Amino acid sequence: MLSNILTFTDFLKKNMPNLLTTITDKDLRVIADKIIGNIRITPEEGLFLYKNADLPLLGLLAGIVRRRHNGNLAYFNRNFHIEPTNKCIYNCRFCSYHKPEGDPESWEYSHEEMLEIVKRFDNKAVTEVHIVGGVHPSYDLHYWGSLIKKIKEYRPALHIKAFSAIELDHMISLAGCSIEEGLNLLKGYGLDSIPGGGAEIFDEELRKRICDEKSSSELWLRIHETAHRLGIPSNATMLYGHIETYAHRIDHMERLRILQDKTHGFNAFIPLKYKKSNNSMSYLGEVNIIEDLRNYAVSRIYLDNFPHIKAYWPMNGKECAQMSLSFGTDDMDGTIDDTTRIYSMAGSGEGNPAMSSDEISVLIRQSGLIPVERDSLYNPVISL
């Protein structure tokens, strides 16, 4: 770990003397000194980095923060997804997943069909099932809780990470419970952790423009705070690359950073890229890979109290996910085994997302890092 008294100039002189001559902005040097000294940057400084720091410098600084948290380790797990339905009470403008009742591309799995998905992984060393889908109009928390219970009874050691805050809001409301009561009931059924979906972008005015029907940013944060208080860890996400500005991104991460200071319940932050296919915002196009890497790097720097930054490779592709390891990320998600359609329906290049643990390990090693298989709470399973 770098000494807190080491300045940015000293660091560059020692490690990257050629880069030193390109950093002429005094304000940038001050921010870089703070990052190297493990001093929290302000929202204004985060915005300054987005607007003014070159990509090589961001990669350097994000790498310092990543090593502070995780050394030279990069994580992955053996997981699979269940997507119970793409029928949804909401119709968010950016969503390519939602299909109305009767659409030939809509689906709704029964409990038995979802258990069959679980049984496909008999005798496979998976450790986690990730359950997220549309917000079904009819099913309350007891319907979904009984699904969790059946999975736990069939495979007790399987970690169940299930239901975005948006799904939780609806299923708990249908059951007539408070958020705390509902989460406690789901925990009793066997819920182990909560994914980070549904956060989108927290700015209320922007949220009205892209997902005005969806649960509020305040409610998303309250659900995760309540889960943390009950001993249910979670992840956090941010949808980027649509009509938001850098200021919106910093505002989003600032709200997450404040909650993490309070609860320490978030395991990982996952930037999710807007994909343009088959939705009503397609005219926007997509940001390029330079912007993807810039966003990963600033996320790693800004969210100094998040232990992990995840590159969700089915979204941006294997190559981008690998490159992101040099821009602050330390987690490649998991093997997935062709069990998710959310991003393939939006035009992701990873149309049939699946990687073996060996393939992920190779990508990590090629980046100069050490691959570590983890469980859902980042405990090492085996180093490869």
List beta partners, residue 232: none
For the segment 49-93, what is each residue's pLDDT rounded down to a tens digit?
A: 999 999 999 999 999 999 999 999 999 999 999 999 988 888 877
Cβ count within 10 A of residue 314: 26
- pLDDT tens-place string over residues 54-64: 999 999 999 99
Candidates 255, 248, 251, 254; CA nearest to 218 is 255
Predicted pLDDT of residue 313: 86
* Total number of residues shown for the chain: 384
> For 229-263, b where at least 16 C-beta lie within 10 A, e where not — what string?
eeebbbbbbbbbbbebebebbbbbbbbbbebbeeb
Listed residue (36, 31, 40) closest to 16, CA to CA: 36
Q: CB of 98 within 8 A of CB of 347?
A: no
* pLDDT attached to residue 216: 94
Per-residue pLDDT tens digits for 21-39: 555 678 899 999 999 999 9
- Say how far apart CA 133 and CA 151 lie, in whole Å: 17
Tokens of 271: 């930037």
Query: Which range has the worst mean pLDDT, 119-128, 272-281, 293-302?
Result: 272-281
pLDDT band at 348 (very low <50, low <70, confident <90, very high): very low
Q: What is the per-residue pLDDT for 1?
A: 38
Which class is 73-383 in CATH?
Answer: alpha beta
Q: Where are the domains of the chain?
A: 8-70, 73-383
Question: Is the confidence at residue 350, as pLDDT, over 60?
Answer: no
Beta strand pairing status for 159-162 and 234-240? Answer: unpaired
Lowest mean pLDDT among 97-101, 146-150, 251-255: 97-101
At position 363, the amino acid (one-letter code) is L
| pLDDT confidence bin for 329, thresholds 50/70/90 | very high
Inter-residue contact 259 to 268 (CB < 8 Å): no
Check if the beta carbon of residue 327 is closer than 8 Å to that of residue 59: yes
Three-state SS for 172?
helix
Residue 338: pLDDT above 60? no
Q: Residue 54 and residue 52: Cα distance in Å, rounded? A: 7
Name 180's bridge partners. Answer: none
Do residues 143 and 174 lie in contact, with contact meaning Cβ atoms separated by under 8 Å? no
Which pTM does this prediction carry?
Answer: 0.89
